[in-house]
Amino acid sequence: MVQYDYIRFLYYNQNKSKRAIAREVGVHRNTVTKAIENPEQRYNLTVERDKPVNHSIIDRVKWLITDNQVKPKKHRLTKTRMYNLLCEEGYKGSYSAFTYLTRQIEEEFNINSKEAYLKLNPIKGSMQVDFGEMVVMHNQVPRKVYVFCAKLCYSKIEFVIAYPYQRTEYFFDGLNSAFAFFGGVPRKVIFDNLKPAVKEILEGPDRELQEEFLKFKSFYCFEAIFCGPGKGNEKGMIENLVKYVRNNYFLPYLEFTDFESLNSRLLKECQQRLEKGIHKGEAWTKLVLMEEFLPFEEVYQYARITSSSVDTYQLIHVDRNRYSVPTRYVGKKVQVRIYPFKIIVSYKGVVIAEHNRLFGRDKECLNPYHYLALLQKKARAYDQAKVIQDWKLPAIYEEYHRQLKAHSQSNSKGTREFVDILKLTEKYGLGTIGKILKKLDETGQYSYQAVLSLLRCQTECTRGTRPLAEEHLQHLKIGDIKTSHLPLSAYDSLVGEGGCAL
């Protein structure tokens, strides 16, 4: 560089000729010319250097690169893995020589060329939505949950809620929950090509939509826009939100108990973000007032409807789990409405059972009150009945049951009478009936009639018996009222003479 700088100094500053500079510096005149004509001071390769070590693998590398492009992203080979495979096949070149060759081939086939994008201004009243897959710990075992994420493009407000699956009922419930949180229905909603919404991807932006999604969309009248396949950049806000939720809410792994507590926590996080969020110097709470929403007056009610036959154990089978119904519906075919977190069973339009929805497989939800009528007929099965063992009644119930059987001198009779007592708990609660059983146990009274009598005394005989206030009695001048009393003998004349006593 010193010689290069001196040549240019002599030529431009001292106005010497190339011949004189070559003689003075001791270099060829071509070297002087290169120094004068090359102000960037770098070496220019005019002839491609021969790379004999790469000649034998060119066809192999071309095949690896082109084959890699047609594979799914998660199954593609990295350049490091390609290089290791070639080394196992006998390649002697360095990693840098290999990557130089791959760059040349990728440029030849126009592979990995980057796409140009335009910056867009967000539209008021538009929203992006998507599901994100998260991992939680349930009883020290990793479990997947799916978080529905929604974000307003203009005000940047976020909403998230977790579900066990990505099915239609959860998709609609997530949208309804987002509308309720934002206080309105966005005019434009940008989706990925989710199965609950898209039945088939057609050419260009056209989509064949699911029938249920069309009903949902027409109910709220928003415009649905779907991203191109593999075009995550078209909904970059929601992609970033999914990453934010994973990094800030689910890492390290949360200890999962149930979806109610998890969603309560997520809602609290969303509310705190709403109160503290700022975009370009403006608070989110102020920006949301500038959004252009459609009115959110009614909620679209959606349930997945199916039918099921009640087996001899009073159970219906739904999504590989079992739910109980009352005894009288054994053998009947019932309708089941499946909501995100509950199951409603009806027969001929009348609701006969309601359960919290079970997640997983081979689980049972048994309502003990569905089996009490059957237990009265099959009293000897009481102690072994799974529904009773799972009920885990307070200790006073077990003690009173034992005393009932002893006093009636019959296990079956005592059990039937105890089942009648259990029926009262459906209306009055285990706590109220339990206190009555404790009082009767202290006085040694063991019967259904004794329980019913004391229950009526507590619930009916105390109505309207509050004493009047002293001030009210003085206002009515109760002390000034005088009454006359007839002797009891006067009533005897009513029997003997058929008259009346005045």
How far is 96 from 456, CA to CA, in rounded Å? 92
How far is 160 from 312, CA to CA, in rounded Å? 42
How far is 460 from 344, CA to CA, in rounded Å? 34
Query: Coil, strand, or helix at residue 182?
Result: helix
How far is 394 from 433, CA to CA, in rounded Å? 11
For the range 417-424, what are the long-range contacts, defined as Cβ-Cβ under 8 Å and sequence gap of 24 or more? 417/447, 417/448, 418/448, 419/372, 419/375, 419/376, 419/379, 419/382, 420/376, 420/448, 421/448, 421/451, 422/368, 422/372, 422/397, 423/369, 423/372, 424/451, 424/452, 424/455
How is residue 458 written in tokens? 């507590």
How far is 388 from 251, CA to CA, in rounded Å? 41
Range of the domain at 78: 52-108
In a domain, 480, yes or no: no
Q: In which residue ranges of the chain is pLDDT below 50?
A: 499-502
Provide the sign of the torsion angle of the four alpha carbons 85, 90, 95, 96, taken in this order.
negative
Task: Identify whether residues 241 and 161 lie together within a single domain.
Answer: yes
Residue 237: partners with Cβ closer than 8 Å, 6 or more residues away: 128, 151, 153, 156
Q: In this structure, are residues 189 and 159 in contact, taking their beta carbons and an 8 Å threshold?
A: no
In a domain, 496, yes or no: no
How far is 144 from 444, CA to CA, in rounded Å? 55
How is residue 264 written in tokens? 């309560």
Amino acid at 501: A
The dihedrals phi and psi of 228, each to the nearest 5 degrees, come to: -70, 150
Q: Quick count: other Cβ atoms within 10 Å of Cβ 84?
A: 14
Task: Identify whether residues 139 and 185 lie together within a single domain.
Answer: yes
Task: Identify whether residues 130 and 253 lie together within a single domain.
Answer: yes
Task: Identify whether residues 279 and 401 lie together within a single domain.
Answer: no
* pTM metric for this prediction: 0.70
Task: Identify whether residues 271 and 200 lie together within a single domain.
Answer: yes
Strand partners, 147: 132, 162
How is residue 152 written in tokens? 């307003």
DSSP 254: P
Specify the CATH number for the domain of residue 167: 3.30.420.10
Task: Identify whether residues 354 and 392 lie together within a single domain.
Answer: no
In a domain, 488, yes or no: no
Could you list the beta-strand ranges (E) of 7-155.
126-138, 141-152
CA 124 to chain centre: 27
The CA-CA-CA angle for residues 469, 470, 472, to 5°, reads: 70
Domain end call among 108, 136, 154: 108
Q: In this structure, are residues 265 and 158 in contact, taking their beta carbons and an 8 Å threshold?
A: no
Task: Identify whether residues 219 and 188 lie together within a single domain.
Answer: yes
Question: Residue 183: left (phi > 0), alpha (psi -120 to 50), or beta?
Answer: left
Give the 3-state secondary structure of 376-404.
HHCHHHCCCCHHHHHHCCCHHHHHHHHHH
Q: Quick count: other Cβ atoms within 10 Å of Cβ 361?
A: 8
Residue 346: partners with Cβ closer than 8 Å, 6 or more residues away: 334, 335, 337, 352
Q: Quick count: other Cβ atoms within 10 Å of Cβ 183?
A: 13
In a domain, 467, yes or no: no
How far is 366 from 314, CA to CA, in rounded Å? 9
How far is 194 from 191, CA to CA, in rounded Å? 7
In a domain, 465, yes or no: no
Give residue-wise pLDDT tens across range 432-484. Answer: 999 999 999 998 899 999 999 999 888 776 555 565 566 666 666 666 666 56
- Residues of 97-117 as b/e, b for ≥16 C-beta within 10 angstroms? ebeebbeeeeeeeeeeeeeee
In a domain, 144, yes or no: yes
Task: Identify whether residues 138 and 286 lie together within a single domain.
Answer: yes
Per the structure, the count of domains in the chain is 5
Task: Identify whether residues 201 and 280 lie together within a single domain.
Answer: yes
Task: Identify whether residues 247 and 170 lie together within a single domain.
Answer: yes
Domain end call among 347, 365, 383: 365
How far is 415 from 387, CA to CA, in rounded Å? 15
pLDDT of the residue at 484:
62
pLDDT of the residue at 501:
44
In a domain, 213, yes or no: yes
Task: Identify whether residues 31 and 68 lie together within a single domain.
Answer: no
In a domain, 173, yes or no: yes
pLDDT of the residue at 480:
67
Task: Identify whether residues 102 and 17 lie together within a single domain.
Answer: no
pLDDT of the residue at 49:
66
